[in-house]
Chains A and B, each alone.
Chain A
Amino acid sequence: MIDPPARTLVLGIGNLLWADEGFGVRAVEALHARYVFPACVEVMDGGTQGLYLVPHVRAAANLLVFDAVDFGQPPGTLIVVRGDEVPRFTGAKAMSLHQTGFQDVLAAADLLGRAPARLTLIGVQAADLETWGGPLSAVVRDRLDAALDLGLAELAAWGIGAVPRPAAPDGPGAGLLRHGLDLGGYERDPLATG
């Protein structure tokens, strides 16, 4: 007998209206645009949903999180944190829109009696967490590809392969983020003409 594939959640968290706070969401957006995963994998833009994410986290056997973190390293530094260490890092984030930070989501999942068996955080040291309406800072944006590679390697270690998406999703309508919130649409100067 073959075990059914373990449900895997790839979750980007943070507020994309807030400069580098949007890193996690931008990472899963790019991952979704470039790769196709097996049916057991869900790539999710978790935004700042806080406790509302608990059911999604509980349903996953493997959880891969992308998030901007503040751990006192030079901006753009990437970090991979696993298992019990994760809450410490998400808790260290200097600014969370939710007082219910992601560490509380993990604790609540634990208290309900079902937390993911495998948990990994791919974090980036943010440079700019203050510019409301701002884009990703250049230094963080330049690390997106490297962050995706770290994520793919982690998934591969869990036995989950990804294949390049044959063609990028068509236009702004087919990506994970739409309605002007896709990276290109969001960062276009809305006051420019044409």
Chain B
Amino acid sequence: MTTLSTPNGFSLDTSGRRVVVDPVTRIEGHLRLEVNVDDDNVIRNAVSTGTMWRGLELILRGRDPRDAWAFTQRICGVCTGTHALTSVRAVEDALGIDIPANANIIRNIMQLTLYVQDHLVHFYHLHALDWVDVVSALKADPKATSALAQSLSSWPLSSPGYFRDIRGRLARFVESGQLGPFRNAYWGHPAYRLPPEANLMAVAHYLEALDFQKEIVKIHTVFGGKNPHPNWLVGGVPCAINLDGTGAVGAVNMERLNLVASIVDQSVAFIEQVYIPDLLAIAGFYKDWLHGGGLASQSLLSYGDMPRRANDYSADSLMLPRGAIVGGDLSTVHDVDLKDPEQVQEYVTHSWYTYGDDSQGLHPFDGITEPQFALGPGTQGDARQIHALDESAKYSWLKAPRWRGHAMEVGPLARFVIGYVQGKPEFKEPVDATLRHLDVPLSALFSTLGRTAARGLECQWAAHRLKDSFDALMANLKAGDTATANTDLWDPKTWPRDTARGAGFTEAPRGALGHWVEISGGRIRNYQCVVPTTWNGSPRDPAGTIGAFEAALLDTPLADPEQPLEILRTIHSFDPCLACSTHVMSPDGQEKARVQVR
């Protein structure tokens, strides 16, 4: 049988040619995608495979829970701070530790800063090249590019001379033969639609964003002591504040706080005068390319984040909305509880792990990470060289997390749709304005482009919340409250005598992130992470429900299956990061995406 209906309403047909993309480039970690295309090169079946094994749980067992954040911060290079924050929250939840109001605000500032940096870097440096043809930019007329840029924004770097210089720099770079970050792309592909001038403008902003990120991360240095790898602390934040201090060692003083305020203002300006205008301009050329929706119109999950009130993690306190939408019923947002054993469960039926009984789902508190690698009977090739996987058997190093049995999409689009249907103006108004600007219906939101747009709007949202949070911090400090840490329960002797369990959550820039910890005798006994890309990139579950990546690729036409730009575009729109969901199985050192068509 070659056709299959999934419980979440998709139809899969495996009869056509199989196209394999492995590894997918410009992501963190290793991902393989296989799709079947019909005679018209439309995707009719999709298989998402994490090709690495994960095992953070094994490293943390027996460690001091107060150090867990430092280990989780090293799992990967892009979500460092958000893993650290999730970890300290899990440990504080287990041990019953409250943090001071200033610590809560500073953590929000750290997290919002990460949003601004991560979304900017994702859009310009990892995703824009799916929409922007860099080589075409060499054909642009600098004068026309300047006119275009000035019609879109008041950003001052827009003269013909500026764009001529950028074009010249790009030309020298390309002629030197070292395409660097621009290699491994499908330049000249028919799915690119921007005129050369729009491409050149985007390349200029690619370079500006790369340069600007150095300013943004100074906020991490102020409050985290250093960058890369800022410090975190169970019980608060590891920075003392002394407003009257003049460069006192270690303490944050007024001079440093003024620096933060100025960077926040620059961030707002860059996002509103560069990122958002670019996003709208690019979207205008692609607004009828509305593939890639997948689960976006039916099943979405957000844990919520950024508490307005310290130690209050209820939905009401969170700036980013919490909730779950299932079955396409946008009128109902269900509440989410990370500790309810019936809600978040992970399955391994199609994952290279075993629970003994692989038909059951396990809540992370009861999670087991026991690898079991085996290929299904329908596999083409062997373990050394897999030509095509057999998705009816185990086929991924990602587990399959489900919320009350549903596969869910997580990330900026999920957060914005949940906030939108809850009628929250800070999410609804920018979405409505964007839809009006592009003259597209609400349904256009449920697409690859919608996901990319939501990330941009969220970057703008984050920059403004950064401003609010900074003002709230200053108000507290000026009122005389300078406490940043609660060390009452620092000493393990003060901890519960019995086993303590805690759950911590954040919304990482790329989606819902949860850590579950069990502490016994002052040490970590069990530690489980369920990360955003495990939700989005998950394999199938015992019922055959498909995850967000697989669903999003269906029905997408490929202009040229040998150059599957459209697959990369949709997968990159999720901002996948597999470093923490997985670990290496068979490193091949192959940087270029290999594509096989059979």
Contacts and interface: CB of A to CB of B under 8 A. Distances in A.
Contact of B211 (A50, A55, A98): A55
A47 B229 contact: yes
B69 A93 contact: no
Interface string A101-128: 1011011101111000000000000000
B210 to A, nearest CB: 6
A91 B433 CA distance: 44
For the residues of A in contact with B, the DSSP-based class is loop
Nearest to B29: A97
B59 interface: yes
A17 interface: yes
Contacts of A106: 180
A53 interface: yes
A192 B589 CA distance: 36
Contact of A132 (B53, B121, B173): B53
B70 interface: yes
A97 B180 contact: no
B217 A48 contact: no
Nearest to A95: B587
B287 interface: no
Contacts of B587: 94-95, 129-130
Interface string B213-226: 11001000000000
Contacts of A191: 61-62
Contact of B228 (A49, A108, A179): A49
Contacts of A98: 28, 77
B25 A111 contact: no
A16 interface: yes
B217 A110 contact: no
Interface residues of A, number: 51
B63 A190 contact: yes
Contacts of A50: 77-78
B255 interface: no
B258 interface: no
A47 B84 CA distance: 15
A100 B181 contact: yes
B117 to A, nearest CB: 8
A113 to B, nearest CB: 7
B228 A47 contact: yes
A180 B71 contact: yes
Interface string B18-33: 0000010111110000
Contacts of B26: 99-100
Nearest to B25: A99
A133 interface: yes
A63 B231 CA distance: 25
A191 B524 CA distance: 10
A100 B210 CA distance: 13
A87 B231 CA distance: 31
Given A15-B74, A70-B589, A191-B62, A111 B169 contact: yes
A165 interface: no
A51 interface: yes
B584 interface: yes
Interface in B540-598: 579, 583-584, 587-589, 591
Interface in A50-74: 50-55, 58-59, 70
B318 interface: no
A191 B71 CA distance: 16
A55 B23 contact: no
Contact of B76 (A46, A48, A53, A104): A48
A181 interface: yes
Contacts of A53: 228
A82 interface: no
B421 interface: no
B222 to A, nearest CB: 16
A29 interface: no
Contact of B589 (A95, A97, A104, A130): A95
A107 B181 contact: yes
B3 to A, nearest CB: 35
A20 interface: no
A180 B181 contact: no
A16 B3 CA distance: 46
B229 A108 contact: no
Interface in B73-122: 74-78, 80, 117, 121
A45 B229 contact: yes
Contacts of A179: 66-67, 69-70, 231
A112 B210 contact: yes
A99 B210 contact: no
A129 B585 CA distance: 11
A170 B125 CA distance: 41
Nearest to A55: B214
Contacts of A48: 74, 76-77, 579
B523 interface: yes
Contacts of B229: 45, 47
Given A17-B74, A55-B211, A97-B77, A133 B55 contact: yes
B181 A52 contact: no
A111 B70 CA distance: 33
A55 B70 contact: no
A44 B25 CA distance: 27
B58 interface: yes
A192 B69 CA distance: 21
Given A17-B74, A178-B70, A190-B523, 16 more contacts: A46-B228, A52-B121, A58-B214, A92-B589, A97-B76, A111-B169, A111-B173, A111-B180, A129-B584, A132-B53, A132-B59, A133-B55, A179-B231, A180-B64, A190-B61, A192-B62
Which 9 pairs from chain A and chain B are nearest by CB? A107-B180, A55-B214, A190-B62, A180-B67, A48-B77, A179-B70, A133-B59, A95-B587, A94-B589
13 contacts: A46-B228, A48-B77, A51-B210, A52-B117, A54-B213, A94-B588, A97-B579, A104-B180, A111-B180, A130-B587, A132-B583, A190-B60, A191-B61
